[in-house]
Amino acid sequence: MDLERRLEAEQVYRAAVGPRADYYVPKFIGFDTYDSSRISWNWPAFFFTFPWLLYRRMFGYAAVYFLLVPIVAAILYVAVRLALPPELAPFFTLALVALIFYIAPPMYANAMYHTTIGDRIRKSTDGVASVEEQVRALESEKSTSVVALVAGVVLASASTGWSQYNRVTSRAQEQVADAIAHTGYIQADLEDFHRSHGGRWARNAQELGIFDFANGDFIETVEVKDGEIVVTFNTHTASWLRGKQLLLKPNVEADRYAWICDRDKSSVPRAFWPRTCAPRDVSVDVSEPTVTLSAAPPRVTFASGKASVPLSAKFKVTVDGDTLTALFGAQQDHKVEITFIDRLSRGAETDLAAQFVHSQAARADTKASHVGDRAFFRELGEDLVIDGRNHEVTHWQIGAGNCMFTMTLTAPLPSTNDNRDFMYDDEDQILHGIGCVR
């Protein structure tokens, strides 16, 4: 490029770029002049990628960036989780997202802007011969957009706020679901008491023989009041849950027990009720409005009536001796097998099975979770090929009081929403609710 053409190109570029032309024009001339790498670095694009794209009127790039971030992040998370252990997946996903959306854009920002400006110049100066007329034509157009910048900041802020709200809500829902699952053994004891005392409910925990509650991570106190369970959340929960109460009350129909959430007596906001606490049947009796909880599904007995486990209606259950098999998923291709192993000594110690599970976990070089009189741990098995499709296998050993159980989940790969829902909701219900029938 000779000097005269270079000077003309600079005039045209300056008219098209507008603010900060002294920064961009030399780079653009270099892109045009030299057969060199188009990689450079743009600090505004690093710190404020989306607003910068809008301010520079690169609306197509901005739309792609805004829409692709959550989609690509979700795809990467699934891909990384399939390739790496679950505990490493969030770290590597974050690293890849940072590389793609926070490192690559500022490296190619100047090159993308050069392409955008080149297209704008060609469209605006088509048929215009002289450089002076081209400059006037470009100067008459907006080179930047403060309105788009402000709108983008508002949109990004709203999106971030909504995402943060969803994270807080999801966290609170998980904590409420965890607390509900931790009351599973109390629900079972209340149901047993109700059956054995001619339909009368226990007035308090002491009448049930419970003197020490397994509160879990998020529960401050648990109380039993005339057959109802009152859960008070502690300070380790989301701020909007602290000190709030959730009241679970029993509902018996045709000798089937379900636990319902009294929305008048529960101070936990409805927005933070998890999916397991979502309404199914709302009573029209305004004197006592209640909501049926899937968090406390009916209990299914197996092993000749020696054991029971809470399972929701989504499971297709069959029982063969001491083994319960539950199929679920849209294609009924996910399988849970729960086996009653043994009931240990009925002596003074009431957590022999939990002690045994801890010893088994130590032999497997892992640690068992311990809640109240129960312990459990999970380990991955070898993948299986069923009907030409890979399946992952997960095993649990469970000690509930003096009763031993094993559980195996066989689920197709890649991981499905049904599998994730099981790990998110059903696993806790089963682990905290399974037990021997007294």
**So where are the chain's domains?**
3-144, 173-292, 299-436
pLDDT confidence of residue 295: 45
pLDDT confidence of residue 276: 53
Residue 292 pLDDT greater than 60, yes or no: no
pLDDT confidence of residue 285: 35
First CA to last CA across the chain, in angstroms? 92
Sequence-distant (6+) residues with CB within 8 A of 256 are 298
Phi, psi of 317 (to 5 degrees): -105, 135
Q: Which CATH superfamily is domain 173-292 in?
A: Glycoprotein, Type 4 Pilin (3.30.700.10)
pLDDT confidence of residue 321: 92
Q: What is the mean pLDDT of the chain?
A: 84
pLDDT confidence of residue 264: 83
pTM: 0.47
The residue that leads in pLDDT, 357 or 260, is 357
- Beta-ladder partners of 395: 379, 408
> pLDDT per residue over 77-109, tens digit each?
778 777 877 667 778 888 888 888 889 999 999
- CATH number of this structure's domain 299-436: 3.40.1000.10
Select the highest-mean-pLDDT range: 51-65, 206-220, 367-381, 414-428. 51-65
Which residue's structure tokens are 């679901």? 177
| DSSP, residue by residue, 129-167 | -SHHHHHHHHHTS-S--HHHHHHHHHHHHHHHHHHHHHH
User: Comparing C-alpha atoms, which of 152, 81, 190, 49 is closest to residue 414?
Assistant: 81
> pLDDT per residue over 359-373, tens digit each?
888 888 888 887 777
Exposure on the CB side of residue 34, measured as CA atoms within 13 A:
9
